[in-house]
Amino acid sequence: MADLTTTFTGLRFLNPFLLSSAPPTESESNIMRAFEAGWGGVVTKTIGLHPVVNVAGPKTKFLRADPDSHRLSMKKRPAAALHSSWNWELISDKTLDWWVPRLSRIKDAFPQQILVASIMAGSGNDTELKHWQTLATACQDAGCDALELNLSCPHMDREDMGSNIGKDRELVSIVTKVVKEVARVPVWAKLTPSTTDIVVEGRGALLGGADAISSSNTFTSLPLVDPETLEFEINVDGLVSTGGLGGPAILPLSLAKMSQLTQAFPDESFSGIGGISTFDHALNYFLLGCGTVQVCTAAMLDHAVGPNVIRELKAGLARFLEAHGDDGWRCVSDFVGLRRNRVVAQSRIRRPDEKEYHGGREAEGYADGDDL
Ligand SMILES: Cc1cc2nc3c(=O)[nH]c(=O)nc-3n(C[C@H](O)[C@H](O)[C@H](O)COP(=O)(O)O)c2cc1C
C-alpha cells in the first residue's frame, strides 16, 4: 500500500489533496460529504465579519470549447470541453456565529482530516485589523487546524480588502503579522495572481510570518459577449463587472506564478491551486515545490464536492509512488521540488547553432538598451 500521508506546515495530512475555499466548502453538509469522500483537508468558504449579498442571478458559469470549431461559449451543449469557470461570487453569506458551532462539529466528526478556516476582513484601520484577529481566534477556538488569509478575492470594490490587499506588499505583511500575533495554528497566505511580480507579495507574507503561501486565486477576467445578442454571457440587467477565471485555462498561468514563488523561496511551504482535476495536473505543482494542492472548479462539476476527483487524485498518487518505487520515492515529500530548478532564463536555453543569444540585445539586431 502506497503511503499517501504528508506533513505540511507541521500538520499531518492523510493525503495532500484539499478542497479550496469556494462553493464546495460553503456548508457543514458539503464539508462532511467531502471528508467522507476522502479529501485530506478542506479550506472553508471565506468567512468574514459582515454579511454579504451576492448579485442577482448565477454567481458562477462554465466556459466550454466546441471540439470541431473555435467557438467558446457558456451555453450548455453536448460534447463541448471545459475551458474555465468564471465567477463573481463574494465570500460566505453566513456570519461568523453561524460558522463557529459548525466548525466544531465538523472537527469532532473528522478529527483526522485537516480543517482550514479561510478568513477575510478589511485593512484600512486598526478596527479592521482587529477583525482579522477576531475571526482568527474564533476559528481556531472552534478547532480549526490552520487559517488561510484571503488576500486575493478579485471582486472587491473596497481598496483595503481582498486582492487589493494582495496587491500591496506592505498590507500583505501587516495583515499576516496581525493574525500571527493571535494565531496558535499555522497561517497560510492566499495571494492574488493579479500582480506584476508575485515574489514581491510573497516576500511580504513571509516577512509577516506566514507559514505557507497558497496560490493562485482566480485570474481577473470578463465573460465573453454573445455575438448574436451582443450581451455578456453572464450579466445582470446588461451589466457585468470583472470576475475570476478558474479551471483548466489557468493551470499553466498559475504554474508560472508558483514557479516564481518556489524558486525565490525554496525552503518555504506552498499550496498549489489552479486548474487541477487529475493527478497529472497536481504533479506539476508537486514537482515545482508545493507540499499540498487545492481544487475548486473540478469539484464543483463533480457532485459539488468532487468524490470522483478525489478518488482519481488518490489513485493517481498511489500509482505514481508504485511506479517510482525503484527511485526510492515512498511519499510525496520525496519528489516535491524536483523540477523547480528546470525553469530558467531564456539565455540559458540551448541554441541550435553556435551563435549565442544575447538576451535581445544588439547581436540579435535589436537596439541596445542604452540606445533607447
Ligand atoms: C464560485 C467560486 C467561489 C470562490 N470563492 C472563494 C472564496 O470565498 N475564497 C477564496 O479564497 N477563493 C475562492 N475561490 C477561488 C478558488 O478557491 C480557487 O482559488 C480558484 O477557483 C482556482 O482553482 P480552480 O482552478 O481549481 O477552480 C472561488 C472560486 C469560485 C469558482
CA 264 to centroid of ligand 1, rounded, Å = 25
Mean pLDDT, residues 203-231: 97
104 — phi, psi (to 5°)? Answer: -65, -45
Ligand 1 atom with the shortest distance to the CA of 218? 20
Asked which of 120-124, 199-203, 234-238, 309-313 is least confident by mean pLDDT, the reply is 120-124
The pLDDT of residue 353 is 73
CA 61 to centroid of ligand 1, rounded, Å = 13
CB neighbour list of residue 355: distance below 8 Å, 6 or more residues apart: none
Determine which helix (DSSP H) or strand (DSSP E) holds 17, and give its type and residue range.
strand 17-19
Ligand 1: residue of 17, 18, 19, 21 to mutate (most ligand atoms within 8 A of CB) is: 21
CA 368 to centroid of ligand 1, rounded, Å = 43
Ligand 1 atom with the shortest distance to the CA of 21? 17
Atom 3, ligand 1: residue with shortest CA distance: 22
CA 108 to centroid of ligand 1, rounded, Å = 26
Query: Residue 232 pLDDT more than 70?
Result: yes
CA 117 to centroid of ligand 1, rounded, Å = 14
Query: Residue 135 pLDDT more than 50?
Result: yes
Atom 2, ligand 1: residue with shortest CA distance: 22
pLDDT in tens, 114-129: 999 999 999 999 999 9
The pLDDT of residue 1 is 80
Query: Residue 372 pLDDT more than 50?
Result: no
**What percentage of the chain carries pLDDT values higher than 70?**
95
Indicate whether this model's pTM tops 0.85.
yes
pLDDT in tens, 307-358: 999 999 999 999 999 999 999 999 999 999 999 999 999 989 998 876 666 7
Query: Residue 363 pLDDT more than 50?
Result: yes
pLDDT in tens, 254-264: 999 999 999 99
273 — phi, psi (to 5°)? Answer: -135, 145
CA 364 to centroid of ligand 1, rounded, Å = 43
Mean pLDDT, residues 16-25: 98
Output the CA–CA distances (angstroms, integers) from residue 342 to 107, 208, 254, 262, 291, in the order listed. 40, 29, 17, 12, 18
Mean pLDDT, residues 299-305: 98
Ligand 1 atom with the shortest distance to the CA of 274? 25
Ligand 1: residue of 296, 305, 309 to mutate (most ligand atoms within 8 A of CB) is: 296
Ligand 1 atom with the shortest distance to the CA of 214? 19
- What's the CA gap between 338 and 152, in Å, rounded? 28
245 — phi, psi (to 5°)? Answer: -95, 130
The residue annotated as part of the active site, out of 139, 144, 153, 290, is: 153
Ligand 1 atom with the shortest distance to the CA of 297? 27
- Which residues does a 6 A CB cutoff place in the pocket of ligand 1? 20-23, 45-46, 59-60, 85, 87, 89, 91, 118, 150, 152-153, 190, 217-218, 246-247, 250, 273-276, 295-298
Q: Are 291 and 269 in contact (CB under 8 A)?
A: yes
Query: Is 139 one of the catalytic residues?
Result: no
